[in-house]
Amino acid sequence: MQKLFVMIAMILGLNSLIPKVHAETNEKIHQIEQFVEERMKVSQIPGLSIVIVEKGKTVY
């Protein structure tokens, strides 16, 4: 159950990293990947799939 709460917190935290105009900038993608990797290590999550959708289109 604790991992579920961690995952929800990760999703909410990612919202602040999503760029407003161009979701494919290298810097933002790097920030997202770094954030997810850190949270996975802290929470001992061995694997994870993430999709970010902006205005109905997959941007990550």
pLDDT at 29: 80
pLDDT at 32: 84
Long-range contacts of 1-4 (CB under 8 A, 24+ apart): 3/43, 3/45
pLDDT at 26: 74
pLDDT at 20: 52
pLDDT at 22: 55
Mean pLDDT by 10 residues, the chain (60 residues): 66 60 67 88 88 83
